[in-house]
Copies of this chain bind each other. A is one copy, B any other.
Amino acid sequence: MLNTVRPTPYERAELRIAADEILSKIVELAMSRGIACRPMLVGSVSRSTWLAGDHDLDIFLAVPEDADLAEALELARSVAPVHEEKYAEHAYIHAKINGFDVDLVPCYLLKDASRIKSAVDRTPFHTKYVSERVKGLEDEVLLLKQFMKGIGVYGSELKVGGFSGYLSELLVLRYGSFPVVLECASSWRPGETIDLEAHSTTSHQDPLIVVDPVDPNRNVAAALTLNRMFQFTAAARCFLKEPDTTFFFPPDQKPISDEDLLKQIQERGSTLLLLDFEAPPMVEDVIFPQLRKAEESIRAMFKRNGFSVLRSDVDCHPVNGITRARMLFELDVWELPRIIRRQGPPIWEAEHLSRFLSSHPKPSSGPYIEDGRAIVEIQRKYTRASDLLEKEVGTLSLGRHLTMQVQKGHDIYVGSELVQVKDQGFRTFMAGYLVARFRMC
């Protein structure tokens, strides 16, 4: 196992050479321009905890607190004339250098992590903290990271909501080894708190609280969702009971075929509705929270109208170079009678009653009385969930970006129409949705 996840000596050497070259070039350029800038290799490469083959270089260009970040950004541009400009809290540069993916990130050089101006300023402190303590535990970190990757809980981006690399390193520092991390995680409960430096100053409401050793106010696990946390707990228990390499390297999820998709739709007997539109031109960390909010809005709309959603999910995948957003709703009540009950006020509230009756002048049945209240049965607007979605999705408030995209154009597929959506991204998503199996025992 370790041989698979541990970088080879050749990979290590190659990466070290590439990093050194870039670092030297930055120093050289900075000196020639008279800019005070100290380049730093950060991230998993800097502490030898990267997974074999998974070796992006993170290089920070640190300038003094009173300097201008723009100078460092300009410097970064010169280091890699061919590059892409990206933006998180601040602008940074992404480039391919000697075949490696390199991020060149301007930041401030600070004495104390509590005085940071943006999240990236904290990274050098993290690197320092882990580097000074992780020696001899690198393999434990590699096993843990690969385990997390294999079971699908690795990555703090909002699409995943899982464990960051730094968080996994801290877990190893806290518990001492990969198996002990699993053992301890097996009995986690919501609110589990880990404070390596015993210096916490804030109370957090997150499911897992890992106080940042370099910043007592911060929870390193703030992005971890309850479900990902316990997906890890469940898998940890299972692995300890019956260890197996498939935890680290599960078989690839294969896209579902037309035939299997139709068979499953038939067997489940539910109604699947797919809303498909072009994703707004943004990074996943911006799109996913919006998609999840829109998912909740649409679920709420179904519920308000008497329908019932069994399960739903969202995804984004590129189709012929364009990113499509896919929102999937599986309904267990998708068709309702024409008539619907409306409950009115108690009969003894004469004025309310009379307003209620005037607003339903010609009910299909009623008014009659139940539990002392007036009831009428009137005509329902939408008897099918698909009609409701088709007619109302354009008017729903789904957040500015999504509403615009949906209004620009969208398709709705109902039931077996889903086989018309052929791209592999969707079919893989669909295969995963239908199985929805996490490791637990």
Contact = CB atoms under 8 A, between A and B. Distances in A.
Interface of A: 186-190, 207, 226-227, 230-231, 233-234, 237, 267-271, 306, 310-311, 332-333, 335-341, 346-348, 350, 353-354, 357, 364-372, 374, 377, 383, 434-438, 440-441
A372 B337 contact: no
A86 to B, nearest CB: 33
Contact of A226 (B372, B434, B435): B372
A12 to B, nearest CB: 37
Contacts of A233: 347-348
Contact of A435 (B335, B354, B365): B365
Contact of A369 (B227, B335, B371, B434): B227
A436 B365 contact: yes
Contact of A364 (B267, B337, B364, B370): B267
B372 A230 contact: yes
A368 B310 CA distance: 13
B226 A371 contact: yes
A369 B268 contact: no
Question: Which applies to chain A's interface (DSSP): helix, strand, loop or mixed?
Answer: mixed
B237 A350 contact: yes
A333 B353 CA distance: 28
B337 A336 contact: no
Given A233-B347, A347-B234, A372-B190, A438 B333 contact: no
A348 B230 contact: yes
Contacts of A189: 348
Contact of A269 (B226, B339, B346, B434): B339
Given A234-B347, A333-B336, A339-B310, A369 B269 contact: no
A372 B227 contact: yes
A441 B337 CA distance: 27
Contacts of A310: 337, 339, 341, 377
B437 A383 contact: no
Given A230-B369, A311-B341, A366-B438, 7 more contacts: A187-B350, A226-B372, A230-B347, A233-B348, A269-B383, A332-B336, A353-B440
Q: Indicate the member of A189, A347, A435 with the most B CB atoms within 10 Å.
A: A347
